[in-house]
Amino acid sequence: MSAERVARGDARRDLMDIAIDCFARYGFQATSIDRIAKAAGLTKGALYYHFKDKEALLFAAVTKRLSQFERRVVTDLAAVPDPATALREVARVCLDHATKSNHRRMIVTLMVEAIDTNPRLAAEFRAMMHRFRMFLKRIVQRGQDSGQFRADIAAGVAAEVFTGAIMGAEIQYYQDPRTFNLAATITAFIEQFINWLSAPAPGSPRPLRAHRAAEQRSRRKSS
Amino acid sequence: MSAERVARGDARRDLMDIAIDCFARYGFQATSIDRIAKAAGLTKGALYYHFKDKEALLFAAVTKRLSQFERRVVTDLAAVPDPATALREVARVCLDHATKSNHRRMIVTLMVEAIDTNPRLAAEFRAMMHRFRMFLKRIVQRGQDSGQFRADIAAGVAAEVFTGAIMGAEIQYYQDPRTFNLAATITAFIEQFINWLSAPAPGSPRPLRAHRAAEQRSRRKSS
């Protein structure tokens, strides 16, 4: 790769970081190409060399941020053999991201907005959430295989509960950071979730079997 | 009240129902005043008689819908003395709304969008979510007072976990209705949540005391 190519690659990466910062600070609508160019110390022409429009820049920036998050979670957790510890660790990383910068807030609110307004971004987010749930499902299954977690719980449904509880808590925190206690909420959830997974199967496991049957029906439907 | 006044009141109510239907179907941006007027069989002039602009109509329609939802939940649950049954019933009503029409989807996605784009609507949603959590908190406290629920859990944090888990599950369902199993997820969550509330306090209740202390700190901070 030529030196010029490397420099172009670096400029593209820097631009994405600067753009996502602008989007997070001012919102997508209120962020002009001019503003991003100015923040990056570039001309508008130089910016258009890398991205055809603001939407392309948003798409690249969000895709990059999602893959960074996924890499971080997967890498961090490869070293954690205990499934309960791994689940606590995922929750800790989410809490960390939610409270330490406004980038995650931007990503999560954008994900919801995209559902009805941006099919391309919506598809990207849908696939990412699907991968994230599969990742969590495998952690739960690992605990089930080792006998640490109950075998009568549908691992896929457990993953859906986990992602929902974290995301729903985050959104309430973004909506009301002054009074919503995100750390306490996530800590309480993760404790109840692991208790639930770890508890011995109750005398009458019917409702839990019903979840698993429902999940299998839904899996058949979607395949 | 004169007959004309009554008719005006009725027209206003009908208009809000028609408008929320248009917003839910086409999104706020893509819904013009023209489209709503046509759907209502009115002239644009007649519509402007009731609402100064599209934003005012959205605000009135959303406020109306939120208060309907709150009234329904509060009324339905006044007749439910058992706190565990009441919590199950709230979850059932949410699931019902989420799957039977696209209005709730519109309200939930709008709530997230409003966080960064519409301060007036955001304040309305923030107050509504706060009231909803207080309502749930009182149900949890009722169970604690009667000895049915553990006393060492912070009722406010329990309410935060509940609202988060339901909303986060819903959002994933709106994002991916084909593969996300909303009914199974909400059923699994409510079972684990009630198990958690009902379980006898563990030998070492330290982490739970920590939640309550964190909640009290946050309450002091925000008062």
Are residues A112 and A201 located together in one domain of the fold? yes
For residue A163, which residues of chain B lie inside 8 Å, CB to CB? Answer: 168, 172
Mutation for B interface: A23, A104, A162, A172, most B CBs within 10 A: A172
In a domain, A26, yes or no: yes
Are residues A53 and A88 located together in one domain of the fold? no
pLDDT in tens, A126-140: 999 999 999 999 999
In a domain, A16, yes or no: yes
In a domain, B4, yes or no: no
In a domain, B17, yes or no: no
Mutation for A interface: B171, B195, B216, most A CBs within 10 A: B171
Tell whether the model's pLDDT for residue A191 goes beyond 90.
Answer: yes
In a domain, B127, yes or no: yes
The mean per-residue pLDDT over the stretch A56-82 comes to 87
In a domain, B68, yes or no: no
Are residues A214 and A109 located together in one domain of the fold? yes
DSSP string, A8-52: HHHHHHHHHHHHHHHHHHH-TTT--HHHHHHHHT--HHHHHHH-S
Q: Which of A56-65, A70-79, B145-154 has the lowest mean pLDDT?
A: A70-79
Q: What is the CATH number of the domain that holds B211?
A: 1.10.357
**Residue A11: count of CB within 10 angstroms of its CB:** 16
Q: CB-CB: which of A160, A179, A188 is closest to B211?
A: A188
In a domain, B39, yes or no: no
Number of folded domains in chain A?
Answer: 2
Give this prediction's pTM. Answer: 0.83
Phi and psi at residue A47, in whole multiples of 5°?
-65, -45
Are residues A102 and A208 located together in one domain of the fold? yes
Confidence class for position B218, pLDDT limits 50, 70, 90: low
Are residues A86 and A15 located together in one domain of the fold? no
H/E segment holding residue B57: helix B54-78
In a domain, B32, yes or no: no
For residue A158, which residues of chain B lie inside 8 Å, CB to CB? Answer: 188
Between B2 and A192, whose confidence is greater? Answer: A192
Q: What is the 3-state secondary structure (H, E, C) of B72-110?
A: HHHHHHHCCCCHHHHHHHHHHHHHHHHHHCCHHHHHHHH
Q: What is the CATH number of the domain that holds A162?
A: 1.10.357.10
CA distances from A63 to A16, A23, B15, B113, B175 (A): 10, 14, 41, 20, 17
Q: CB-CB: which of A165, A175, A218 is closest to B129?
A: A175
Q: What pLDDT was estimated at residue A8?
A: 57
Contact A175 B29 (CB under 8 A): no
Nearest chain B CA: its distance from A153 CA (Å): 9
For residue A181, which residues of chain B lie inside 8 Å, CB to CB? Answer: 156-157, 160, 214-215, 218
Half-sphere exposure of residue B77: CA atoms within 13 angstroms, side-chain side? 24
Nearest to A145 by CA among A77, A90, A87, A197: A197
Tell whether the model's pLDDT for residue B208 goes beyond 60.
Answer: no
Nearest chain A CA: its distance from B114 CA (Å): 9
Q: What is the CATH number of the domain that holds A25?
A: 1.10.10.60
Nearest chain A CA: its distance from B104 CA (Å): 13
Tell whether the model's pLDDT for residue A9 goes beyond 50.
Answer: yes
What does the alpha-carbon distance between residue B196 and residue A193 come to, in Å, rounded to a whole number?
9
The mean per-residue pLDDT over the stretch A102-120 comes to 88
Nearest chain B CA: its distance from A182 CA (Å): 9
Are residues A32 and A99 located together in one domain of the fold? no
Nearest chain A CA: its distance from B31 CA (Å): 13
Are residues A100 and A175 located together in one domain of the fold? yes
Are residues A187 and A86 located together in one domain of the fold? yes
User: Could you list the residue range(s) of the whole structural domain that residue B95 is in?
Assistant: 82-222
What does the alpha-carbon distance between residue B28 and residue B70 come to, in Å, rounded to a whole number?
23
For residue A189, which residues of chain B lie inside 8 Å, CB to CB? Answer: 161, 164-165
